Structure 1
Amino acid sequence: MRLKDQFQFVRQNMKKNRTRMFMTILATAMSVAFLIVLASVGFGLHKSIVKETLERRLVTEIEVPGKEEPNNGFRQLTDEDISYFEEIDEVKAVTRRKTLQNYMFEVDDHQTNAQAIVAHMPSETKAGLELAEGRLPKSENEVVVGYHFVEDLRPNREVSEELYDEQGQIKEEFRYKEDLIGKKITMNVVKFEDGKEMIEPLEVTVVGIRQKPTKDWVYDSIVFVSEGVLKQVEEFTGTPRGMMKDPNNPDMELPDIPLDQYDQVNIYAKDMEAVKDITAVLEENNYPSYSVINELKDINVMFTIVKAGLIFIGTIAIIIASIGIYNTMTMAVTERAPDIGIMKAIGANPKTIKKIFLLESSYIGLVGAAIGTLVAYGISFIVNFGLPLIIKQAFGEEPPEGLIFSHIPYTLPIISFIICYLVTILSGLRPAQRATKVDVLQAMRREV
């Protein structure tokens, strides 16, 4: 019996019990849709968190806090380490910064507190530093300020509620209105001597303003100063990095910080694929590191477990639906006993008879899986569109921007089809085997 004839035989027999067949396919479709929609929640949340993680951090950035040495313990990084990092393959740039204290900066009749940082500007530029206005510093008394530095400038008066609006921002009428480029600003360095506060004003010129951060939650008000400014600060305070001694404990000992030691070192890879290789090289040489790849690795492991659990729960629904398939196929064997008897009487191979019933159960499973997949995509679209509106209206909360509640990757329907096909084959296997054992004489008398 040709395969074409087998399919035709199956279609003819299925038409005889359309209602029962429809209900069986419907139950299978519902179970597949349940599996896909349930698992899609795990895939959707996973995609949302990965997206948020990638947006919050530069994907090619690798933070290196220091080096672990067997005998000397953990130490900060120096120029020697920087040179080693720059020689690693696929490294685009290595930025290094020295952190100073927060200082009071004054310009005209406005002032603000901001953190001063000594940065290596060539490497910062190579890593992607961009300016909204102005240029990079060329002399030691020139500085670059963060985008929000000017927004923090407030009139030289005591801080009061009238200066700020409800969002905690300085009111428009009190903001600094002039162009900051080319302005001389005063950096007030403070130290305590004999219990008295002493202030040394250092005059610097603003030559550049950094580009506005791409993310709204990033607030950039730092001031990039030169090594020359750092030297002046240390000469006045007599302490490394301008650290302030406790006025109540003037004899306290401050740590000795070498001139070429850095507080923050970041490596920038040429592309995301190179991050993993660079991280591996760093770990081999006792440089602990942190990058977005490390964070994604933990996230992926956690969500792999969650998605596997959701798929397992969805599979239970398909197994429950398989009971209906088993019942349908058992009834089909009973009703078609005379046909089976005729087929065996004219010499049909038992394997052919078994194959016909397995084809029928496979048809139920695959058609149900196809319908269930289409329904699942529809439900996923409705959930992603409607659920944020429901949350907003019912609870008065605004869902995070870009949150994906349900995501169906192409692999999920494939997994569902495979699971559904295997379950339906197992469900039809026992009835198919029973069909091969039908007695010809009893079948001809319409009995099984």
Structure 2
Amino acid sequence: MKLKDQFRFIRQNMKKNKMRVFMTILASAMSVAFLIVLASVAFGLHDTVIKDTIESPEVTQIEVAGKDAGNGNAESLTNQNITEIEALEGVNAVTRAKQVKQETRYVTDGYEIYSQTFQSHFPSMKNAGIELKEGSFPETKDEVAVGYHFALNLMKDDVDPEEVEYGEDGQLLPEYRFTGDIIGQTFDLEFKRMEDGEEITETVPVTVTGVLEQPGREWYWDQNVYITDEKLAELEGITGTSKAMLTDPGEAEEDTGYDTATVYADDLEAVKSVMTSLEDQGYYVYSIVSEMGQINTLFNIAKAGLIFIGTIAILIASIGIFNTMTMAVTERAPDIGIMKAIGASPKVIKRIFLLESTYIGLIGAIIGIAVSYIISIGVNLALPMILETVFEEELPAGLQFSSIPFTLVLIAVVICLGVTMLSGLRPAKRATEIDVLKAMRREV
């Protein structure tokens, strides 16, 4: 009996019991769709997280907190350390900064703001590709750059802070803050020095020449002021302490190292090798790429769990296939007897029923895949609107709730076909055991 004849025989018999076969295919399709849609949530959210991480400007950045001093303590980075890091293969630039070790106040024309002040190396910032929202980087001693949120929090100095009102975005309302052009604005930088145990307020002028771009992370608030090396030296000369520390000059400890340093790798692929090199040399490092491995592990566990739950649905649907094939063997006993009488081998008979169960599972899988794609599209379109309406909060742009990669489809098809073949195995084996004479007399 040729394979073509076997398929014709299968289709003819399936047409005789259309309703039963239809319900069996429907159960298979629903179980496959359930598996794919359920697992697609983990795939979709995983793709969104990875996409956001890869597209983030911080993905090629490596934070260097210091270097192992050999006794378990970290020491600040020196210019020699920076030179060593810059010489590593895959490093594009190294930005570094020293923080003024006291709170500083900036005052101009009836407005004030308390801010942290950092001495920054502006040439390395340019090499790293750091851009300004407006203006230019400082070039002389009295020029400074400010963070994106500096002007947004520059408040009138005659307003009681407890009476100030903020908008939904957490920023000062226009009537309480500076609304002019911050570029070119001159401020009095107020800081303090210690003399005989007393705090004395000092002021030096600075002029804003540039505003940094908004930080890539929405939760990060940058209202810092970035000054030049020469300006920091001036502050240190006035206070008599390293990094303008607020303490008596005779009691201050010398600290000339950098408080922060950020390594900018050439590209994403270079990040891991640069991190390995830094760790081998005893540097304490952190990169957002370090978290990607943990994120992948968590999502892979979630995917496996959801696929397992979906497989249970397919196993339940396999009961229907088993019942359908068992009934088919009973109803076709005379046909089986005839096939045996004309010389059909048990192997051929077994193959016919296995092909039929697989055929039913394949049709169900194809329908289930089509339905799952339709549901996935509907989820990605409708669910964000529903959540935004219910919670009255805008969801992040590009958020994807459901994604169906080819690997998920392949996994679902393999599981479905495997389960349906196993479901038809017992009825197929029973068909080969039917006695010809009993089958002809319809005694099966």
TM-score after normalising by structure 2: 0.92
Aligned mate of 1:432, from 428, 432, 440:
428
Partner of 2:370: 374
Distance 1:384 1:233 in 2: 56
Q: Which residue of 2 aligns with 1:411?
A: 407
2:15 matches 1:2: no
- State how far apart, in whole Å, the 1-side matches of 2:36 and 2:172 are: 50
Question: Which one-letter code corresponds to 1:75 in the other structure?
Answer: E
1:290 to 2:292 alignment: no
Of 78-87 and 40-49, the range deviating more from structure 2: 40-49
Q: Which residue of 1 aligns with 2:36?
A: 36
- Separation of aligned partners in 1, 2:216 and 2:85: 27
- Residue matched to 1:67: 67
* Amino acid corresponding to residue 421 of structure 1 in structure 2: L
Which residue of the partner structure matches residue 154 of structure 1?
155
Equivalent residue number for residue 132 of structure 1: 133
Amino acid at match of 1:194: D
Does residue 446 in structure 1 map to residue 437 in structure 2? no
Deviation at 1:302, TM superposition (A): 1.2
- Mapped partners of 2:65, 2:144: distance in 1: 26
Are residues 305 and 254 of structure 1, via their aligned partners in 2, closer, same or farther at CA, if it must alter by over 3 Å? farther
Could you tell me whether the CA contact under 8 Å between 1:106 and 1:112 is conserved in 2? yes
Q: Does 1:244 align with 2:246?
A: yes
Q: Over aligned residue pairs, what C-alpha RMSD do you find?
A: 2.4
| Superposed displacement of residue 86, structure 1 | 1.5
* 2:200 matched residue in structure 1: 198
- Deviations along 1:378-428, whole A, 9 cap, x unmatched? 222333333344444555565555443322222111110010011111111
Residue 264 (1) aligns with residue 265 (2): no
Letter in 2 for 1:306: A
Which residue does 1:227 correspond to in 2? 229
Between the aligned residues of both structures, percent identity stands at: 52
> For 1:150-187, what per-residue CA distance to the aligned partner results, in whole angstroms no more than 9, with x for missing partners?
22222332534555345554342444344333333221
Cα 1:111/1:73, change in 2 over 3 Å: closer
SS of 1:128 mapped into structure 2? coil
Would you identify which runs of 4 or more consecutive aligned residues in structure 1 move more than 6 Å?
A: none
Letter in 1 for 2:254: D
| Structure 2 CA distance for partners of 1:177 and 1:426, relative to 1, 3 Å | closer
Match in the other structure for 1:176: 178
Aligned residues: 442
Q: 1:423 to 1:276 in 2, by over 3 A?
A: same
**Separation of aligned partners in 2, 1:210 and 1:141:** 18
CA shift for structure 1 position 74: 2.4
Please tell me whether the aligned partners of residues 167 and 173 of structure 2 are also in contact (alpha carbons under 8 angstroms): no
Q: Report the alpha carbon displacement of residue 217 of structure 1 after superposing the two structures with TM.
A: 4.1
SS of residue in 1 equivalent to 2:258: coil
The residue correspondences of 1:329-348 to structure 2 (distance < 5 A) are 329-348=325-344
Q: Aligned pair in 2 of structure 1 residues 394, 75: CA closer, same or farther (>3 Å)?
A: same
Is the CA contact 2:121–2:229 (under 8 Å) kept in the aligned structure 1? no
Q: Is the 8 A contact 1:54 1:292 kept in 2?
A: no
- Extract unaligned runs of 5+ from structure 1: none
SS in 1 for 2:95: strand
Task: Compute the displacement of 1:214 (Å).
Answer: 5.2
Distance apart, 1:102 and its partner CA: 2.8
Q: Are the structure 2 counterparts of residues 313 and 171 from structure 1 closer, same or farther at C-alpha, using a change threshold of 3 Å?
A: closer
| Contact residue 68 and residue 288 of structure 1 kept, 8 A | yes
3-state SS in 2 of match to 1:273: helix
Q: Is the 8 A contact 1:32 1:420 kept in 2?
A: yes
Once the two structures are superposed, residues 75-112 of structure 1 have per-residue CA deviations (whole angstroms, 9 ceiling, x without a partner) of: 22222222222122221111111111331112233221
Tell me, yes or no, if the aligned pair for 2:155 and 2:176 is still in contact at 8 Å: yes
CA shift, 1:115, in A, is 1.5
Check whether the contact 2:239–2:249 (CA below 8 A) recurs between aligned residues: no
Counterpart contact for 2:103–2:191, Cα < 8 Å? no
Given that 2:340 and 2:436 are in contact with CA atoms closer than 8 Å, whether structure 1 keeps it comes out as yes
Query: Is the contact between residue 41 and residue 407 of structure 1 (CA under 8 Å) also seen in structure 2?
Result: yes
Q: Where does residue 345 of structure 2 map in the other structure?
A: 349
